[in-house]
Structure 1
Amino acid sequence: MGILNDMKALHRFILIKCYIDKQKDILTMLEMPYEIAQFKRIKKHAVLSLAEKLEMIVEKN
């Protein structure tokens, strides 16, 4: 959890809700004031930020 604490609050919230709590994206989106495209963009940045902190290589599909 130390790595998550160093992240932006918004990124941390999305990562916890989507990957730790296993909440569906649509339910997480309803808790936030963002449109679908904005949410997906923010989620992508959160995942890439976490991968960078963990020094993981992420391949683009």
Structure 2
Amino acid sequence: MTLVPSKVVDEIAELAGSLESDRRAVLAWMAEVPITVLGGKTALELAKDGKGSSVSDLLRLWIYLER
């Protein structure tokens, strides 16, 4: 089992929380929703694969576009 650095997961959760205030929904999204533009893996899978920064970058883009 590969552990994901909590700093990476915390950053993704914080950024996603900027878009969705329901913490349970954020955690469900991170664990269950494939991100098509990042290869169809979930945020947690990508973080586990060392690609958490790609998820963070995408979330920052979405936050920017929401303004």
**TM-score normalised to structure 1 length:** 0.37
**TM-score normalised to structure 2 length:** 0.34
Pick the structure with more helix per residue: 2
Answer with 1 or 2: which has the greater Rg: 1
